[in-house]
Amino acid sequence: MTNHWNDYQHSDVIMAIGGNTAENHPISMKWIEKARETKGAKLICVDPRLCRTAAVSDIFVPIRPGTNIAYLGGLINYILENEKYHREYVENYTNAPYLINENFSFDENTGLFTGAEDDPVRSATKYDMTDWQYQTDADGNILKDTTLEDPNCSFQLLKKHYSKYTISNISKMTGAPEDTLRDSYEVFSSTGEAGKAGNILYAMGITQFTHGAQNTRAIAIIQLLLGNMGIAGGGVNAQRGQSNVQGATDMAILYHIIPGYNPTPQQTHATLEDYLAATTPEKNWWSNRPKYIVSLLKAFYGDNATDANDYGYEWLPKLDGLDHSHIPAYKYMRDGEVEGMICVADNPLVGGSSSRAKLHYQKNLKWLVSVDVVENETAAFWKGPGMNPAEIDTEVFILPAAFSYEKEGEKANSGRWIQWMWKAQEPPGDAKSDLWIVNEMFKRLKALYEAEGGVVPEQITKMHWDYDGVGGEIDIVKVCMELNGYRVADGSLLTNFVGLADDGSTACGNWLYSGYYNNLENPATKKRIKEKEGIGFNRDWAFAWPLNRRVVYNRASCDLEGKPWNPDVPVIWYDEAEQRWVGNDVPDIPGSWDFEYATENPFIMNPEGVGKLFSIGYQGVGGLRDGPMPTHYEPADSPVPNLLYPQATFNPCSQRFYEDHTVETDEDRQKYPHIATSYRLVEHYQSGSVTRNQPWLNEMMPEMFAEISEEHADELGINNGDYILIESKRLQSSDDGEQGNIKVKACVTKRIKPMLINGELKHLVGMPMHWGFMGMNTGASANDLTPSVGDANTTIPEYKAFLCNVRRAD
Amino acid sequence: MQLTRRSFLKLTGAAAATATLAGMGLNTASASAAYPLRIKYTKEVPTICTYCGVGCGIICSVRDGVIVNAEGDPDHPINEGTLCSKGSSIFNVSYIYEEKGKPIVNPKRLTKVLYRAPGASDYEEKDWDWALDEIAKRIKDTRDRTLVETVDVGGRQVTVNRTNAINWLGSAWCTGEENYLFHKMARAMGVINIDHCARL
Residue B100 has pLDDT above 70, yes or no: yes
Q: A764 in helix, strand or coil? A: strand
pLDDT at B28: 46
What is the pLDDT, as a whole number, of residue B3?
Answer: 43
**Residue A440: closest C-alpha in chain B:** B132
Residue A146 has pLDDT above 90, yes or no: yes
Using an 8 Å Cβ cutoff, are A52 and A44 in contact? no
Yes or no: domain A655-808 corresponds to CATH 3.20.10.10: no
pLDDT of res. A275:
98
pLDDT at B33: 56
Q: Do B169 and A344 touch (CB under 8 A)?
A: yes
Q: Do A395 and B184 touch (CB under 8 A)?
A: no
pLDDT at A810 over 90: no
B9 interface with A at CB cutoff 8 Å: no
Instruction: Determine the pLDDT at residue B19.
Output: 42
B12 pLDDT exceeds 80? no
Reply yes or no: is the peptide bond before residue A641 cis, omega within 30 of 0. no
Instruction: Quickly state the pLDDT bin for A249 (edges 50, 70, 90).
Output: very high
Domain A5-238: homologous superfamily in CATH? Dimethylsulfoxide Reductase, domain 2 (3.40.228.10)
How does residue B10 score in pLDDT terms, banded at 50, 70 and 90?
A: very low
Interchain CB contact of A297 with B (< 8 Å):
no
Answer whether residue B5 shows pLDDT above 50.
no
In this prediction, residue A735 carries a pLDDT of 52
Tell whether B15 lies on the interface with A, counting CB pairs under 8 A: no
Is the confidence at residue A677, as pLDDT, over 90? yes
Give the confidence band of B39 by pLDDT, cuts at 50, 70, 90. Answer: confident
Phi-psi region of A679 (alpha: psi -120 to 50; beta: other; left: phi over 0): beta
Closest-CA residue of chain A to B47? A421
C-beta atoms of B115 and A432 within 8 A: no
The whole-number average pLDDT for the span B80-98 is 95
Interface with chain B: mutation pick from A25, A27, A370, highest number of B CBs within 10 Å: A27
Q: Does A61 touch chain B (CB under 8 A)?
A: no
Question: Is a pLDDT exceeding 80 seen at residue A416?
Answer: yes
Taking 90 as the threshold, does the pLDDT of residue A123 lie above it? no
Tell me how close the Cα of A513 comes to any Cα of chain B, in angstroms.
10
- Which of B47, B51, B161 is the closest to A314 by Cβ? B161
Q: Is B4 on the interface with A (CB under 8 A)?
A: no
The alpha-carbon gap from A258 to the nearest alpha carbon of chain B, in Å, equals 8
Q: Which residues of A touch B146 (CB under 8 A)?
A: 339
Averaged over A657-672, what is the pLDDT? 94
**B75 Cβ under 8 Å from any chain A Cβ:** yes
Q: What percent of chain A clears pLDDT 90, i.e. is strictly above it?
A: 98
Quick one: pLDDT band at residue B102, thresholds 50, 70, 90? confident
Does A426 contact chain B (CB < 8 Å)? Answer: yes
Q: Is the pLDDT of residue B193 over 50?
A: yes
- Whether A328 shows a pLDDT value over 80: the answer reads yes
Residue B38 near chain A (CB below 8 Å): no
In this predicted structure, the answer to whether residue B29 has a pLDDT above a threshold of 60 is: no
A vs B: CB pairs below 8 A? 476
Distance, CA of A571 to CA of A561 (rounded, Å): 15
Chain-chain contact of B109 with A400 (C-beta, under 8 angstroms): yes
Contact, A608 vs A98, CB < 8 A?
A: yes
Is it the case that residue A124 has pLDDT exceeding 90? no
- Does residue A408 have a pLDDT over 50? yes
Inter-chain CB proximity A239 and B133 less than 8 Å: no
ipTM of the complex: 0.98
The whole-angstrom distance between residue A102's C-alpha and the CA centroid of its chain comes to 33
Nearest by Cα to B75 from A540, A585, A425: A540
pLDDT tens-place string over residues A565-586: 999 999 999 999 999 999 999 9
Helix axes A68-81, A212-225, angle to 10 degrees: 20
Q: What's the predicted TM-score (pTM) here?
A: 0.96
Q: Do the chains contact at A528 and B97, CB–CB below 8 Å?
A: no
Query: Kind of pairing, strands A13-17 and A257-258?
Result: unpaired
* Chain A: residue whose CA lies nearest to B42: A424
Higher pLDDT, A120 or A498: A498
Q: Give tens-digit pLDDT for A7-38.
A: 999 999 999 999 999 999 999 999 999 999 99
- A180-236 per-position pLDDT tens digit: 999 999 999 999 999 999 999 999 999 999 999 999 999 999 999 999 999 999 999
Query: In chain B, which residues have their Cβ closer than 8 Å to the Cβ of A425?
Result: 60, 62, 65-67, 94
Give the confidence band of A631 by pLDDT, cuts at 50, 70, 90. Answer: very high
Q: How far apart are the first and last CA of chain B?
A: 50
Letter for the amino acid at A238? A
Residues of chain A with CATH 3.40.228.10: 5-238
